[in-house]
Structures are given as C-alpha cells and as structure tokens.
C-alpha cells in the first residue's frame, strides 16, 4: 500500500514538469493557432540556462531567472520568425518552428557542449520524508506543490485579469477580438512570453531530477504533444489532467513492463481520441481554416517526361563511367528520393503533414533486418514485407490521424516516431538497442556495389513512378478535392477520411520500401533510422524541392544529399539546415521547383 502511494507521488512529481510544458504549448496554440514544435527546445534551454546561473548564484536564484530568460527567448522567437507566419498556411508554421528546434539544438551544443551536465540539487530539499513508511524525496513534494500552484496561478490569471480574459476570448475567436480594438501583436507576444517562461520553469525544475542533456527537447515535446492532444488543444485544465494521466501511467507502467511505458502513453492517447476526438476538455476550433486556392494538378509535362526518361537512362549507364563513391552516393539519393516522394505525395497532394515520417522508414528497415536476422527469410521476401510492415504501422497511426486536423497529424506522427525510436533503443533483446542489428546483406545475386545499385534503381523507379501516377490520376484528384474543398468533396459523396487514410498508408509503404532497401545497402540498422533528424531530412527534401512540383522530391533529395555531403563536415550544419528550413518557410514557400517556375513565368510575361 505505502509503496503504491509513494509511486503515485513520484508520478505526480513527474506530472508537474510535463504540465508546465504542456500548459505553455496549449496556451500558445489557443491564442496564435501555432503548434510550437520548438516548445521542447525552450524546456531544454530552461534547464541549461538554470544550470549556468546556478554555478554562480545557486539553485534558488537560477530557477526563476531561467524561466524569465526563456520567456524572453520565446518572445524573440515570436518577433523574429513566427510573427511573419501568422497568415501562412499551417504547414509552413509547423515547419518553421521545426527549423527553430534544429537551430536551438546546435546553439545549445555550441554553448554547453555535448556532454550531459549534472545540475545542483535544491538546497533545503535534499532529504526524504517518510510517508506510510516509504521514503519520498522532499523535492518531489516540492514539485507537486509547484504544479498545483501554477495551475492555480493560471486559473487566477485567466479569470481575474484582463490579459487572461483576452487570452480566453482569443482562443475562441481572435478575429472578433481584434475588431474590438485589441492589438493582436501584443497579445501574441505576451502569450509567447508566458508560454515560453512556463516551459523554461519546467526545464529548470528538472535539474535535480535528471542530467541536463541535448536530448531533453525532443523527449519532452513528444510527451507534451501526447498530453496536449489528450487534454484538448487550448485547454489548460485538460493539460493538467492529461499530464497526471500520462505521468501516473509511466510511474506504474514501469513496474509492470519498463519497455512499454511510452507505448502505454500512446495507447492512452488512442483510447481518448476514439472517445473524444478533441481531447478530454478540448473543443473543435471555431475559426475557419485559411482559404486555399485550389492548386492545379501535378503532372509532368511533355518536357518533364522526356527529362525523366533521360534521367533514368543516365542513371542506368552511370556505373559504367563512375567510381564506387559516386555509385553509392547516387543509390543513397535514390533511396531518399523514394522516401521523400511518399511524404511529398501525402503532403503535397493530400495536404497531410507528417513530422515523423522516419517512423515508416524505420519500420521498413527494422522489419527487413529482423526478418533476415531472426526469421531467416531471404532478401527478396524481406524487401516485399518491409513496405507491408510499414503500411500496417501507417494504417494504425493514420487511423487516428485522419479523424483530426492537420496539426494533430503532425503531432501524432512525431510522437509515434519518437516512441518507436525509444522502443528501438530500450528494447535491446529484440532490436539490439544502440548497437543496432548488423550483418543484413543482400542475396548473392544482388551483392556488390553495382548489382545492388541496379536493384535500388529498379525498385525506387517503380516506387516513384507509381506515386506520380497515383498523384496525377483519379485518386490524386479526389485527394486534392478533399484537401482544397473538403465541404464540397463531402457533399459529392467522397469519403475524405478513407482517401486520406489510404494516402498515409501509401506514403508509409513507400517509406518502408526505402527503409528496407536502405537496410540491405548499409548491411545494418540503427535506431537513428527512426529518429527525428531522419524525419526532418525527409521534410526538408520535400520543401526544398517544392511541395507542389511533381519533380520536387527528386530535386530535393539530390540537392539535399549533395548539400549534406558538403555541409555535414561543417561543425554546426544542423543550425544551417534549420536556418534554411525557416528561410524556405518564410521566404520561398514554393521550394526550388516552385521558385524556378515562378521566375520562368515572370520572365515569359515580361518578354511577352
């Protein structure tokens, strides 16, 4: 009995930090309608800044100062990047905050270095108290108090201050609020400051409980997404309840089966979403989505088809003239082009944003590796089953995602990918953990750089061409109708959810095939196939190439691979990548292909 109560208190203590982060995320979303992927980065910065301040001034000065500093950083983020994106489509807002994650990652690496830092413990709260004869850390009790106090403070602010009333009004109808004379910019800045400060406070308070590390940002954001989705976007009380639920699930789940705690969180989210699609206390957003102009279909013209044929022919003769290095690099590009083409298909044609596309790539890679390694199946069967496994994963995740709006899909896929990544690291018996699975070599007939290159060429060409045909065919038309004019499509009797689900499954299986090919080309599989950076790479390729250009993923993958090959030797190339992502979202939403065709069109108009 006493043991379970102590475990319950541990859960409550963990819920506090999670609540602080999720509450900030939720308030910011409510007012600005932006899902801030960089919110986990603010949490991480809170911990790092508190660490630095505590070295000089001690713990109790460090915590509030860190919260305020992070609030200021959030304010700067809002002013410099997000305020330029309030009118932009959701996708670009999401992507830009994702770029910020990369920038903050490298900034933290640059300032604090790669090793984990052990922060100070809280002076005066280092002991334990006995409750029901069980030792409970004093600091845990303090954290629990903080959680409830912050909830109380937010409640007070929301009901007793004009700012709080305006925040609640903006969450309902910010256009009307503006028409009453309220300056949106000020409201947004203040909201960002408070939301970021809460995240910073959460991070600072974690110092005595866990080492300060560069992994804190993505770990917490995945969990915070789960919390916000369960609690209901924009609801602080919902975030509180959901944080409790998740933290307790973790606290008790770890007693039963340590490996499945994250899976349990995901399962809890799934159950809640089935019963209440907008979360425990959430409401369907009342503001109308942005009016999008219906985009023309994505088809390759005559010239494009010719270029594609020339490209395939050139790739076919490449091994005759090129050396091994070029052949391997080209094979990698083809694999990533297929990976990106699937994502491009669901994002460009379907308007469905996935931020965890690596989940499907990784499932494909691990499925192929496990089948070969543990089940003794041959390469051919493994390459067939890899996309099937990924399709099943996509079907499960997609089933929940299509019930919800775009931001939920992005959050869900990111959370799912992060959970799979954790599982691949933790579940050592099956996945080998960080050591990965080695010795996954192709069948005899396909081994050797050149032979495997041709297999890669054949499979990726088939995959990409099929995706292009699907996008420009009837399926693509219906998918676009669901994206651009959902009400009209519904009225015409098109089952949008079913189409979107199918699109996610198709995109997932393309990623899975790419993952399978990748596993055999490298001879091994590691958790980083599932990790967030891999998802980001796919996203960058799609955006770089152009979301609405049929050749986008090929162009994007090529440019990206070449850039990565040269940039990744630079020390802080992820920050460069992040800056590029933010830049594309803000300045060149059409990507390379879009900007190019826009430029050509303007030139033609001028000369005409």
Binding region for another protein (CB under 8 A) out of 43-51, 117-125, 181-189, 410-418: 181-189
Alpha helices in 33-89 (DSSP H): 39-57, 59-80
* Residue 487 in contact with another protein, rule: CB under 8 A: no
d(CA 451, CA 46): 51
Q: How far apart are CA 554 and CA 561, in angstroms?
A: 11
Local structure of 448: helix, strand or coil: coil
How near is the Cβ of 548 to another protein at its closest, in Å?
18
Q: Which is nearer to another protein, 234 or 432 (by Cβ)?
A: 234
Residue 162, interface with another protein (CB under 8 A)? yes
Euclidean distance between CA atoms 497 and 502, whole angstroms: 9
What is the distance in angstroms between the CA of the first residue and the CA of the last residue of the chain? Answer: 84
Work out whether 179 is an interface residue with another protein (CB under 8 A): yes
Beta carbon nearer to another protein, 285 or 411: 285
Provide the minimum distance between the beta carbon of 245 and another protein in the complex, in angstroms, as a whole number. Answer: 23
The residue (of 179 and 256) whose beta carbon lies closer to another protein is: 179
Return the SS3 of 495: coil
d(CA 45, CA 270): 30
Residue of 250, 258, 222, 254 whose CA lies nearest to 427: 258
CA angle 240, 241, 247 (to 5 degrees): 90
Contact stretch for another protein (CB under 8 A) within 147-155, 164-172, 253-261, 441-449: 164-172
Taking CB under 8 A as the criterion, the residue among 115, 126, 178, 450 binding another protein is 178
Quickly list DSSP for 291-325.
Answer: PPPPPPP----HHHHHHHHHHHHHHHHHHHHS-HH
Element (H or E) spanning 524, and its range?
strand 524-525
Check residue 486 for interaction with another protein (CB under 8 A): no
Distance of CA 576 to the CA centre of its chain: 19
The binder of another protein chosen from 111, 153, 165, 313 (CB under 8 A)? 165
Distance CA(198)–CA(68), nearest Å, equals 9
* Residue closer to another protein, measured from CB, 172 or 528: 172
Residue 68 burial (10 A CB sphere; 0-12, 13-18, 19+): middle
Determine which residue in the list 118, 131, 176, 310 makes contact with another protein, applying CB under 8 A: 176
CB-based contact 131:593 (threshold 8 Å): no
Radius of gyration of the chain (CA): 25
Least distance (Å) between residue 293 CB and another protein: 7
**Minimum distance, C-beta of residue 212 to another protein, in the bound complex (Å):** 39
Please choose, from the candidates 171, 188, 287, 153, the residue with its C-alpha nearest in 3D space to the C-alpha of residue 235: 171
**Residue 603 within binding range of another protein, rule CB under 8 A:** no
Minimum distance of another protein from residue 166's CB (angstroms): 6
Options 2, 128, 129, 175; binder of another protein; rule CB under 8 A: 175
Cα 277 from Cα 403, distance rounded (Å): 7
Considering the rule CB under 8 A, would residue 177 count as an interface residue with another protein? yes
Query: Does residue 166 interact with another protein by CB under 8 A?
Result: yes
Q: Cα 24–22–237 angle (5° rounding)? A: 90
- For 447, other C-beta atoms within 10 Å of its C-beta total 14
Contact 385, 371 (CB under 8 A): yes
- Strand ranges (DSSP E) for 45-190? 128-131, 134-137
The DSSP symbol for 347 reads: I
Shortest Cβ distance from residue 165 to another protein (Å)?
5
Residues binding another protein: what is the number (CB under 8 A)? Answer: 19
Taking CB under 8 A as the criterion, the residue among 109, 169, 327, 384 binding another protein is 169
Beta bridge partners of 130: 135
- Residue 87 touches another protein, criterion: CB under 8 A: no
Q: Which is nearer to another protein, 175 or 434 (CB)?
A: 175
The piece of 76-84, 179-187, 212-220, 553-561 that touches another protein (CB under 8 A) is 179-187
Interface residue with another protein among 56, 127, 180, 474 (CB under 8 A) is: 180
Considering only residues 116, 173, 495, 565, which one is a binding residue for another protein as defined by CB under 8 A?
173
Name the residue nearer to another protein (CB basis): 157 or 249.
Answer: 157
Counting contacts by CB under 8 A, is residue 293 touching another protein? Answer: yes
Read off the tokens for 303: 């010239």
Q: Interface with another protein includes 290 (CB under 8 A)? A: no
Is 181 an interacting residue with respect to another protein (CB under 8 A)? yes
Backbone angles phi, psi at 122, to 5 degrees: -80, 115
Among 68, 79, 172, 490, binds another protein (CB under 8 A): 172
Of 168, 209, 403, 497, the one binding another protein (CB under 8 A) is: 168
Minimum CB separation of residue 184 from another protein in Å reads 7
Nearer to another protein, 166 or 547 (CB): 166
Using the rule CB under 8 A, is 604 a contact of another protein?
no
Q: Does 1 bind another protein (CB under 8 A)?
A: no
What minimum distance in Å lies between the beta carbon of 189 and another protein?
14
Mark the segment that binds another protein (CB under 8 A) among 59-67, 158-166, 211-219, 561-569.
Answer: 158-166
**Alpha carbons 112 and 54: distance in angstroms, whole number:** 14
Residues making contact with another protein (CB under 8 A)? 162, 165-166, 168-169, 172-173, 175-184, 291, 293
């Amino acid at each position: 009995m006493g043991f379970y109560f102590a475990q319950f208190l541990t859960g409550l203590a963990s819920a506090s930090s999670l609540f602080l982060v999720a509450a900030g995320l939720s308030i910011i979303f409510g007012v600005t309608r932006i899902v801030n992927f960089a919110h986990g980065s603010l949490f991480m910065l809170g911990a790092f800044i508190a660490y630095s301040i505590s070295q000089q001034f001690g713990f109790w000065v460090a915590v509030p100062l860190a919260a305020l500093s992070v609030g200021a950083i959030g304010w700067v983020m809002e002013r410099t990047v997000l305020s330029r994106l309030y009118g932009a489509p959701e996708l670009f807002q999401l992507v830009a905050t994702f770029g910020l994650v990369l920038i903050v990652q490298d900034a933290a690496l640059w300032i604090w270095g790669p090793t984990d830092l052990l922060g100070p413990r809280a002076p005066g709260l280092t002991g334990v108290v006995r409750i029901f004869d069980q030792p409970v850390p004093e600091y845990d009790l303090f954290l629990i108090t903080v959680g409830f106090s912050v909830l109380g403070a937010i409640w007070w602010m929301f009901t007793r201050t004009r700012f709080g009333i305006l925040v609640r009004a903006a969450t309902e109808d910010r256009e009307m609020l503006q028409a009453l004379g309220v300056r949106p910019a000020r409201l947004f800045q203040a909201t960002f400051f408070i939301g970021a400060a809460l995240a910073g406070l959460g991070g600072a308070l974690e110092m005595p409980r866990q080492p300060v590390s560069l992994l804190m940002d993505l770990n917490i954001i995945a969990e915070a997404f789960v919390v916000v989705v369960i609690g209901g976007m924009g609801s602080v009380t919902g975030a509180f309840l959901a944080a409790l639920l998740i933290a307790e699930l973790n606290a008790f789940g770890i007693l039963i089966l340590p490996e499945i705690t994250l899976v349990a969180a995901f399962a809890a989210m799934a159950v809640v979403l089935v019963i209440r699609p907008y979360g425990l206390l959430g409401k369907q957003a009342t503001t109308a989505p942005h009016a999008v102009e219906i985009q023309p279909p994505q088809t390759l013209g005559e010239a494009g088809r010719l270029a594609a044929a020339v490209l395939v022919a050139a790739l076919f003769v490449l091994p005759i003239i090129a050396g091994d290095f070029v052949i391997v690099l080209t094979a990698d590009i083809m694999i990533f082009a297929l990976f990106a083409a699937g994502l491009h298909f669901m994002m460009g044609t379907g308007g469905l944003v996935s931020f965890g596309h690596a989940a499907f790539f990784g499932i494909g890679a691990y499925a192929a590796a496990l089948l070969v390694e543990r089940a003794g199946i041959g390469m051919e069967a493994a390459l067939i089953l890899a996309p099937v496994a990924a399709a099943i994963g996509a079907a499960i995740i997609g089933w929940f995602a299509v019930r919800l709006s775009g931001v939920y899909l992005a959050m869900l896929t990111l959370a799912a990918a992060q959970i799979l990544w954790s599982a691949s690291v933790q579940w050592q018996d099956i996945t080998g953990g960080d050591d990965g699975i080695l010795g996954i070599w192709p069948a005899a007939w396909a081994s050797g750089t050149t032979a495997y290159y041709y297999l890669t060429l054949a499979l990726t060409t088939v995959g990409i061409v099929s995706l292009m045909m699907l996008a420009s065919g009837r399926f693509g038309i219906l998918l676009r109708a669901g994206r651009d004019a959902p009400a009209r499509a519904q009225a015409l009797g098109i089952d949008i959810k079913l189409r979107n689900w199918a699109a996610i499954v198709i995109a997932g299986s393309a990623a899975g095939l790419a993952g399978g090919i990748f596993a055999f080309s490298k001879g091994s599989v590691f958790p980083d196939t599932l990790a967030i950076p891999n998802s980001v790479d796919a996203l960058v390729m799609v955006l770089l190439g152009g979301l609405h250009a049929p050749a986008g993923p090929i162009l994007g993958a090529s440019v990206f691979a070449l850039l990565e090959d040269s940039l990744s030797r630079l020390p802080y190339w992820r920050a460069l990548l992040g800056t590029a992502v933010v830049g594309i979202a803000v300045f060149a939403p059409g990507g390379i292909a879009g900007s190019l065709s826009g430029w050509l069109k303007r030139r033609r108009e001028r000369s005409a």
